[in-house]
Chain A
Amino acid sequence: GAVVSQHPSRVICKSGTSVKIECRSLDFQATTMFWYRQFPKQSLMLMATSNEGSKATYEQGVEKDKFLINHASLTLSTLTVTSAHPEDSSFYICSASGGTSGSVYEQYFGPGTRLTVT
């Protein structure tokens, strides 16, 4: 139980385009979802926290107009990187917390999405 999926696993896009990444909790309802970014050989950095039906809370230094987060249902959150640039190339990981199968205070991580902006 407590499986989180991400789609796509890898994406390559051209500079200036937008990319949408999906995060789904497959067997539990996620009241809270988190989006992280990880650069090579570095640890995960929290970008934003989203609660279902509410606006996301962004960490300091993360541009909310560039990284659009939508958490429209208890099983789906999306991260849209708008007007992507090469410096946005990174490994994006989501996690989900709460619900029927998942412990309230446990975060279950998705497998990550590798974004490459050319």
Chain B
Amino acid sequence: KNQVEQSPQSLIILEGKNCTLQCNYTVSPFSNLRWYKQDTGRGPVSLTIMTFSENTKSNGRYTATLDADTKQSSLHITASQLSDSASYICVVSASGANNLFFGTGTRLTVIP
């Protein structure tokens, strides 16, 4: 069964600190993995997208890693800001399909 699991479910960190979010998946055949940021009441916004051959990709203070062998990904946020407070969703796409498999997200709260 194609599944995407994320941890932790929620996380509270102090402004300026770093954090790492985890994503494990069982989607097969694998096509790509995406991390999205979703602010409350808004649609998801793409942060990174990685294919099978990529094991790291950065977008500003966001760095995603992918281990296709263990089917794990992480999203590292550096020097967090209050505006980073949002849900971060890991989404995996299967080959040959436009359908995406969504994780339940990690709710990040950055406090001053």
Contact = CB atoms under 8 A, between A and B. Distances in A.
Interface of A: 4, 6, 32, 34, 41-46, 49, 91, 93, 95, 97, 105-112, 114
23 contacts: A6-B43, A34-B98, A42-B104, A43-B89, A43-B103, A44-B44, A44-B89, A44-B102, A46-B100, A49-B98, A49-B99, A93-B44, A97-B98, A105-B31, A105-B32, A105-B98, A106-B46, A106-B49, A107-B98, A108-B46, A109-B43, A112-B43, A114-B41
The 4 closest A-B pairs by CB, nearest first: A109-B43, A43-B102, A43-B104, A111-B43
Interface string B70-112: 0000000000000000000100010000111011110100000
Nearest to A9: B41
A108 B107 CA distance: 21
Interface of B: 31-32, 36, 41-46, 49, 89, 93, 98-100, 102-105, 107
B100 A112 contact: no
B43 A93 contact: yes
Interface SS of A by simple majority: strand
Contacts of B31: 105
B33 to A, nearest CB: 12
Contact of B43 (A42, A43, A110): A110
